[in-house]
Structure 1
Amino acid sequence: MLIVAECVGRDREIDELLTRADTTTGPEFVVVRGETGIGKTAVLRRLTERHRERQGAQRTLWAQAAAWEQHTAGGILHQLLQSAGPTDPTVDAATLIDRLDDDDPSIIVIDDAEHADPESLQSLLSVTRTHRSRRVLVVAAMTAPGPPISGLITDEVRLDGLSTAAVADLAAKRGLVLHPGMVDALCRHTDGNPRDILALLDEVPTRVWSSSGQALPAPAHIVDHVRGRLQDCTPDARALIEALAVLDAIEPLDTAVGLAGLDDPLTAIDAAVDSGLVADPAGLGPAESQPRLASSLTRSAVLEVMGMRSVGDVHRRAAEIVTDPARRLHHRVAATPTSDPALADDLDGLARRRGADGAWAEAAGLFRQSGRLTAEPLLRDTRVTLAVDALLAAGDCIGAGALVPLVESLRETPLRNATLAYLAILRGRSAEAAVRLDRAWSIVNFDRDPDIAALIAQRFVLHNLVRCQGTELVEWADRAIAMAGSHSPAGVEAAVIRGLGLAWSGRPTEATAEYAALAERIRFGAQAQRATMGRGWLQLGLDDVGAARSNLETAVSMANLGGSTRITLWALGWLARTQFLTGDWEPALRTVEQGRALARASGIELASPLLNWTAAAVHSLRGDWDQAELVVQQAATTAGDYEIMRIPEMLARAQIAEAAADYGKVRRTLEPLVLMADEVPALAEPGWWPWVDVLANALVIDGQLDAADQLLRPYEERAAERGHRSASARLKYSRGRYLGAIGDIHQARRTFDEALELLDGLPLRYDLARVNFAYGQTLRRAGKRRAADAIIGTAREIYLSLGATTYVERCERELKAGGLNATRGDRDTVGLTPQEESVTALVARGLSNREVAAELFISPKTVQYHLTRIYAKLGIRSRSELAAARR
């Protein structure tokens, strides 16, 4: 079979070599080193292609050494020169160098350089030393480990295994779309070796790649190699190798020795290591010996060579030897090809225990194996459904989705409906989830299946969480806990969410106390991640920002300890939001990217709009409009209709519009939330979604003062009643704008000062900058230029520290328009005022009068007044002439 070389995931190495070639001032030598199949030749081919495009074929030379030509003096030089035959290597080397230009860089590539004839290399080295003006980069590829080329190599580029992204790209070039779990598995199985990856992509049936958890074989060329090595082994060495292939890596050497039946284990270990199929990294002496198979591919190849009968026999013997109950069960399963009711029951029991601990990925595999070994149809259907449900609990929507046709083909049961509803929730499909949950609840038998009823109730809890419904969430949580018990998986899941429902129902004190109790009761394991994330989410909503950040970071870190992908996604989403509000924007963007990658890998769409909201905010405030719009466009492709998806998507669009001073668009984007808030408690409670101040501010700037006043009043009362500091400060920010707009500058100043006092001590730097900016603009409009100058200067410094270039520029225009900091050199020779200068700059950029008015916080009539004066002073008659004059 022909394996076509592909070059993916090597851009960094190729760019590094090209840069080295472009910047070299004399002859230089670099070795590209990597194991067989790692893609050295593909890298060299791409390197020569790109250099040939830039510098031409005469300055891009290639040779490939071969073992049978190693003793042919001058063979490599002959290839490089494309001459009739090798002559004198020294003469050939000189001829080669003379052909190269002094001014432009050249690349000489030698593939498989460990087989190159020494005369060519020595002559090439000698001649380049006497032609130091030649800009030549010699790139020699060698297998690792390999002998050095004495006196030739000065630097090295090492090729390691491909990343998971590159593996997915390689699969795509074969027309294959891999389940993210299989991308990871393929990358680990092959150590990222492109040759082995391509072989498996071509040899393994396509259906294997669509779902996770599939065992991967070894490529045929590895199997053939291993078969030959096993045939050459002693009987004891082969028995040891086969035992190591069957046993888990964590098993002690004693188990392998017993399974192989060895009387002289040290001799067997030496022989196994000599075969190349076994590595012993700690084997400095008998006491430290830890023999393991050389690679995952070696293990798969050994199992294939052994054959099913032999593998089954070894697994059965292993089940009698190993001591851990779970691993003993694993060996029994591996040795059983047909149904086994007793074994299936044992697997079912272990799966439920693992699920109770929150280890849902492991539980999914156990339920699936249990279903395979179950003969009774209805029980088999239940276990298959539980496997899909456990996959969803583990956060593998893609893997679960691949099994949906199977689940949908089963007879209707409450469990089946609850599982399909769970998938709909994680995909963001509210209407579908509601229909399936209602059906499941209507047909469940509470007396016969109380556990299933509790599970359905817990799914209603999740459904109401992402609907942002407080009272309903608490009611369903109480039902789930009452039916399943507070220590059951369904009970714990309901309890760790119940506190958010309490907060959204106007009971934040109770919510805080409930999470404090949960933190004491659930301190370890995967369930602790749920409690920690929920507490961090609550704390962020209640202004305990430092504690929120600590708990959310802890919840993210717990993902590596068996945590849930779904919970990790929420933790990342709210952590990114926390980092944004506190001014840590680079960490926020890294957190967003981590969350996006996890969302893509899992297929969970619920948290993506939350992540995109933060990304859109940072990009728009930095003036990176293309990235901000791209984020919003990506959010628009998400098919979810849950409130927890729709709200941040609207807030992201409003954030971009506000940063662009398009307040009409802000108003149009957020006005639907006014009606939605009547039905969505979390939207109406202060501190959870900052939309009222943004909309009210847009209404004021848009001249709709009565509408702004009416919008603010009920939310101001509720924020004061709850004692919520940051929400009250944000609302006072908008109220101060309103008061300034109606001419009550004294009350406006008191309101802005109260907002700043409320923010004092809170690490909310972005909110602090916003309040100062609005305060300064309001004072400037009222003619308080000196006071406005100081406050806008403060806003500018905060925005500058955040990297919010959009508002830094706006602050600088405000300061210039105020006139106090303007010097004569700042003004045009025709005598434009600072305010006229600001209007001129904005109109020249193409802004309309209304947009300029919003940007400068003045009325459109004032803009037109300034324009009339500007035209007269500059001797022009139109906006286009003004723009041309300013180019």
Structure 2
Amino acid sequence: MMVVAACVGREREIETILARAAAVRHTEFVVILGEHGIGKTTFLTHLTHRHTESAGVGHTLWAQASDWDQQCAGAVLRQLTQSPDGGDSALAGLLGETGAPTLIAIDDAEFVDEESMHTLLTVTREHRDRPTLVVMSMTPPVGRRPSGLLVDEFRLAGITAPAVAEVAARRGIVLHPAMLENLTGHTGGNPRHVVTLLDDLPAGTWSRTGVTLPAPSYVIDDVRTRLHKCSAPARALVESMMILDDAEPLSTAVALAGLDTPLAALDEAADSGLITLGSALTPADAQARPADPLIRGAVLEIMGMEAVGAAHRRAAGLVSDPARRMHHQVSATPTTDPDLADDLDDLARRRSADGAWAEAAGLFRQAARLTSDPVLRDTRVTLAVDALLAAGDCVGAAALVPLVESLRETPLRNATLAYLAILRGRAAEARVRLDRAWDIVNFDREPDIAALIAQRYVLHNLVRCQGDELVDWADRAIAMAGSQSPAGVEAAAIRGLGLAWSGRPAEATTEYAELTDRIRFGAQAQRATMGRGWLQLGLDDVGAARSNLETAVSMANLGGSTRISLWALAWLARTQFLTGDWDTALHNVEQGRALARTSGIELASPLLNWTATAIHSLRGDWQDAERSVQQAATHVGDYEIMRIPEMLARAQIAEASADYEKVRRTLEPLMTMAAEVPALAEPGWWPWVDVLANALVIGGQLDAADALLTPYEEIAAERGHRSASARLKYARGRHLGAVGDIQQAKRTFSEGLELLDGLPLRYDRARVNFAFGQTLRRAGKRRAADAVIGTARELFLSLGASTYVERCERELKAGGLNLSRNERGDVELTPQEEAVTTLVARGLSNREVAAELFISPKTVQYHLTRIYAKLGLRSRSELAASRRHSGAE
């Protein structure tokens, strides 16, 4: 069982070592370091097995040392050579015998006997030109290592949460997501610890949440031995640190231990390995902490319930933070305590008002445990779940949903379940639960619950991309709860977006400026800062948007909400995409995806995947682009804020691959949706009109393109929105060129570029220049077209958009001004014919070639007829074959 468990999640590490073994050209040494139970033995076992099965390799030598081997000369060498007398000649004969790489694996190498180590080093030095990789596993701290040689260290860390889940699944155990994170963090991903706890604890443990996991018995035995070796002061200090929160200063632990001179005890405790001092070199810098969660659990079990309870009661009188003080009181209280429960409830509400939802959730849950009144207990359980959702912990909240659903129906219960539905992207369910909550709430007796429901309607309308409805519900929430309440602040932090989507961007800007000035600190400030950044991005204030969104992301470390951090990461990545900082954008996308997975919030995933799809498709990374768009489709719920970016992502791939018919099919549903979704109609929020209009023009649907563009051009002009107007002029310029009004087309493209002047939107500038150049070339303005397309090419090149760099180069080649005679070939094809030939030879249809070169399918067929005549060919297959033949020559 240990072999299976320890191997799970090690594929990447094994592949790394195997690749090094295959590429080795002389003797190299690698030391695998890892704590007890991390899986070093199984790692080496599987490594040697894989090496043996690999093609083109030499010998695979294996040995496992032990402490008794240290006194037995040549013991490990005899294992390696499988020879009774071992010897350097036997080992030398095996090294590079076939000329292929040899792998020597030695497990527990700290126990290798002197003679074996000496022989190994001598032989490998004498034959260092033979391809040999020596891999030795050791458990820190280690003494003897190969000396005089370059040795690389490879640290084997704990396995990740997905691997832990697989270990459990192989044992027939399905871990609740919250418990999975708990188990992984508690054990550090150490496979031995994971397997032991999975095997030893009752099966029902793993389907619950909030369970405090114990330490395995062998860890408890080891910790007990180390504790008994400590002096009384050192043991008291260790026990105190296990009682206190890691955020508490060392002085609190010293006071709890009752020590007057703590430094000697501190040194002794650190030497025992039960605590760590970090990197401190002086007492003033000491940051004493338990060495790991298992040691904390082991020490508490050794102390016993009575001693632990007494220590928590003493700690409650020493700590200064109210929440931590009450935590100690709760930990020391085994039965219900209504007074303490009321105090916890009061503190939880105050923490909620500050936006510290995760802390509030814990306080509400503790209050519920200490509450004897069943009705009040149910309310506090529901408030705990609601606070978890506000903090963005859908996984933790979902674990308690069955309990909440079993409770009697109340407005709060319905509002909380609606909140979870919103974060999971389930619009229909959320609306049903919100409507029910609103119908049964008593506005006189429960004004705070009514305000909470109104605020949930605000969120519901935010992700529906509604404007007037969002503002209406925000006003209700603020009126009922007050502008300083949690519901009021949350509503105000979103209200500005509703104003912008209702055609009142100036009011929205003013409101956010006032809000962020009023709420500068604390977790609530994260909401206002993120909302302001989102608004600024929509209104072309790109530099300020980036600054505020970066600030909102960083506020997560100051008690902010995972939910808000996700939105901030999604819109920050979009900002970075538009400004050309694509590598950083992808980094933030990955951060957001990881956060979405751990939190269980699905709302922002399509936004993240939209940006990733755009970058990958423009770079020509088609597999990554398809993977991103599939992920976007996987997470699509029935909210508009999920559906819209999913469609835009699919359209982005289609446009990058010049499949304009697919662009049209993908985006045409937005024409109908825009009538019901204000954010789609307001300029600057969702860039779809120009993309669809461009596809319509290239597909020859000129009247449809004109009808689509006209109303959006008017509203963009009315709002004075620069980037939206520029994108619409990109499409309008295409349309004017297609209808033959080249002079007006030139003016329109130039106006679009002027609008973008001063805005850091490099991608938009590149797109406008590219369309401008194509239009000029089609009109026969080849020299002017070359200059504009050359500009587009440089912009796309700076972005790393290889897909469009190649297109620009084809356009320049099709223009014919920069071709040498050798590039024209022996048979005189025109530049346009040469471009058609290249694309047809790649297998593109006439319609696809037409879309790529911005000409009509009839023109493509005309060119093909002339190409066949010039080259003496009769079909597309012969043309492709002739190109392959000429390429081979």
Classify the TM-score, shorter chain: over 0.9
Which residue is 1:49 aligned to?
49
Matched, 1:101 2:96: yes
Matched, 1:462 2:459: yes
Matched, 1:802 2:799: yes
Alignment of 1:195-234 (within 5 A): 195-210=192-207, 213-234=210-231
Which residue is 2:143 aligned to?
147
Which residue is 2:881 aligned to?
884
Query: In the aligned structure 2, how far is the partner of 1:266 from the partner of 1:567?
Result: 44
Matched, 1:611 2:608: yes
Contact kept in structure 1, 2:27 and 2:132, CA below 8 Å: yes
Q: 1:128 aligns with which of 124, 141, 158?
A: 124
Query: In the aligned structure 2, how far is the partner of 1:153 from the partner of 1:32?
Result: 16
Amino acid corresponding to residue 130 of structure 1 in structure 2: E
Amino acid corresponding to residue 93 of structure 1 in structure 2: D
Contact kept in structure 1, 2:57 and 2:100, CA below 8 Å: no
Amino acid corresponding to residue 875 of structure 2 in structure 1: S
Deviations 1:207-261 (A, max 9, x none): 5445654322211210122233444555555444333322223445554455445
TM-score scaled by length of structure 1: 0.95
- Greater mean deviation of Cα atoms: 127-136 or 761-770: 127-136
TM-score scaled by length of structure 2: 0.95
Q: 1:324 to 1:793 in 2, by over 3 A?
A: closer
- Greater mean deviation of Cα atoms: 760-769 or 802-811: 802-811
Which residue is 1:249 aligned to?
246
Which residue is 2:61 aligned to?
61
Query: In the aligned structure 1, how far is the partner of 2:281 from the partner of 2:710?
Result: 77
Q: 1:19 to 1:152 in 2, by over 3 A?
A: farther
Per the TM alignment, residue 67 of structure 1 is displaced from its structure 2 partner at its CA by 1.0
Alignment of 1:460-539 (within 5 A): 460-539=457-536
Q: Classify the secondary structure of the residue corresponding to 1:375.
A: coil
Deviations 1:175-233 (A, max 9, x none): 55545554544444334433223323333445544565432221121012223344455
Query: In the aligned structure 2, how far is the partner of 1:248 from the partner of 1:770?
Result: 55
Q: 1:734 to 1:317 in 2, by over 3 A?
A: same
Identity fraction in percent: 73
Query: In the aligned structure 1, how far is the partner of 2:880 from the partner of 2:285?
Result: 79
Alignment of 1:736-815 (within 5 A): 736-815=733-812
Which residue is 2:553 aligned to?
556
Contact kept in structure 2, 1:621 and 1:659, CA below 8 Å: yes
Amino acid corresponding to residue 748 of structure 1 in structure 2: A
Contact kept in structure 2, 1:429 and 1:639, CA below 8 Å: no
Per the TM alignment, residue 281 of structure 1 is displaced from its structure 2 partner at its CA by 5.8
Contact kept in structure 2, 1:9 and 1:162, CA below 8 Å: no
Amino acid corresponding to residue 95 of structure 2 in structure 1: L
Which residue is 2:887 aligned to?
none
Query: In the aligned structure 2, how far is the partner of 1:616 from the partner of 1:408?
Result: 38
- Greater mean deviation of Cα atoms: 201-210 or 624-633: 201-210
Q: Classify the secondary structure of the residue corresponding to 2:6.
A: coil
Which residue is 1:79 aligned to?
79
Q: 1:834 aligns with which of 819, 831, 835?
A: 831
Q: 1:419 to 1:750 in 2, by over 3 A?
A: same
Q: 1:372 aligns with which of 369, 373, 376?
A: 369
Q: 1:284 to 1:741 in 2, by over 3 A?
A: closer
Which residue is 1:589 aligned to?
586
Per the TM alignment, residue 528 of structure 1 is displaced from its structure 2 partner at its CA by 0.8
Q: 1:273 to 1:546 in 2, by over 3 A?
A: closer
Query: In the aligned structure 2, how far is the partner of 1:778 from the partner of 1:56?
Result: 57
Which residue is 1:846 aligned to?
843
Q: 1:133 to 1:150 in 2, by over 3 A?
A: closer
Per the TM alignment, residue 533 of structure 1 is displaced from its structure 2 partner at its CA by 0.7
Alignment of 1:389-428 (within 5 A): 389-428=386-425
Per the TM alignment, residue 632 of structure 1 is displaced from its structure 2 partner at its CA by 1.8
Query: In the aligned structure 2, how far is the partner of 1:637 from the partner of 1:205?
Result: 35
Q: 1:672 aligns with which of 666, 669, 674?
A: 669
Q: 1:613 to 1:130 in 2, by over 3 A?
A: closer
Q: Classify the secondary structure of the residue corresponding to 1:697.
A: helix
Q: Classify the secondary structure of the residue corresponding to 1:837.
A: helix
**Structure 1 gaps, min length 5:** none
Query: In the aligned structure 1, how far is the partner of 2:2 from the partner of 2:703?
Result: 75
Query: In the aligned structure 1, how far is the partner of 2:522 from the partner of 2:168?
Result: 36
Contact kept in structure 1, 2:10 and 2:159, CA below 8 Å: no
Which residue is 2:866 aligned to?
869
Query: In the aligned structure 2, how far is the partner of 1:789 from the partner of 1:821?
Result: 9
Query: In the aligned structure 1, how far is the partner of 2:432 from the partner of 2:143?
Result: 68
Amino acid corresponding to residue 137 of structure 1 in structure 2: L
Query: In the aligned structure 2, how far is the partner of 1:68 from the partner of 1:437?
Result: 71
Query: In the aligned structure 2, how far is the partner of 1:454 from the partner of 1:96?
Result: 80
Per the TM alignment, residue 15 of structure 1 is displaced from its structure 2 partner at its CA by 4.5
Q: Classify the secondary structure of the residue corresponding to 1:385.
A: helix
- Greater mean deviation of Cα atoms: 797-806 or 94-103: 94-103
Query: In the aligned structure 2, how far is the partner of 1:543 from the partner of 1:21?
Result: 53
**Structure 2 gaps, min length 5:** 885-889
Query: In the aligned structure 2, how far is the partner of 1:696 from the partner of 1:157?
Result: 58
Per the TM alignment, residue 279 of structure 1 is displaced from its structure 2 partner at its CA by 4.6
Per the TM alignment, residue 829 of structure 1 is displaced from its structure 2 partner at its CA by 2.0
Query: In the aligned structure 1, how far is the partner of 2:639 from the partner of 2:780?
Result: 47
Amino acid corresponding to residue 543 of structure 2 in structure 1: G
Contact kept in structure 2, 1:776 and 1:788, CA below 8 Å: yes
Alignment root-mean-square deviation, CA: 2.4
Deviations 1:742-798 (A, max 9, x none): 111111111111111111111111111111111111111111111111111111111
Which residue is 2:378 aligned to?
381
Q: Classify the secondary structure of the residue corresponding to 1:432.
A: helix
Q: Classify the secondary structure of the residue corresponding to 2:819.
A: coil
Q: 1:269 to 1:616 in 2, by over 3 A?
A: closer
Query: In the aligned structure 1, how far is the partner of 2:715 from the partner of 2:622?
Result: 35
Amino acid corresponding to residue 242 of structure 2 in structure 1: A
Per the TM alignment, residue 276 of structure 1 is displaced from its structure 2 partner at its CA by 4.3
Per the TM alignment, residue 266 of structure 1 is displaced from its structure 2 partner at its CA by 6.1
Which residue is 2:327 aligned to?
330
Query: In the aligned structure 2, how far is the partner of 1:36 from the partner of 1:724?
Result: 62
Deviations 1:540-576 (A, max 9, x none): 1111111111111111111111111111111111111
Matched, 1:633 2:630: yes
Q: 1:235 to 1:762 in 2, by over 3 A?
A: closer
Deviations 1:313-355 (A, max 9, x none): 3222333444443222111101112211111111111111111
Query: In the aligned structure 1, how far is the partner of 2:647 from the partner of 2:851?
Result: 21
Query: In the aligned structure 1, how far is the partner of 2:847 from the partner of 2:808?
Result: 19
Amino acid corresponding to residue 157 of structure 2 in structure 1: G
Q: 1:488 to 1:144 in 2, by over 3 A?
A: same
Contact kept in structure 2, 1:3 and 1:195, CA below 8 Å: no
Matched, 1:599 2:602: no
Amino acid corresponding to residue 579 of structure 1 in structure 2: Q
Contact kept in structure 1, 2:606 and 2:633, CA below 8 Å: no
Q: 1:559 to 1:867 in 2, by over 3 A?
A: same
Query: In the aligned structure 1, how far is the partner of 2:356 from the partner of 2:400?
Result: 20
Contact kept in structure 1, 2:275 and 2:288, CA below 8 Å: yes
Which residue is 1:162 aligned to?
158
Contact kept in structure 2, 1:736 and 1:749, CA below 8 Å: yes
Contact kept in structure 2, 1:426 and 1:605, CA below 8 Å: yes
Query: In the aligned structure 2, how far is the partner of 1:533 from the partner of 1:288?
Result: 36
- Greater mean deviation of Cα atoms: 547-556 or 219-228: 219-228
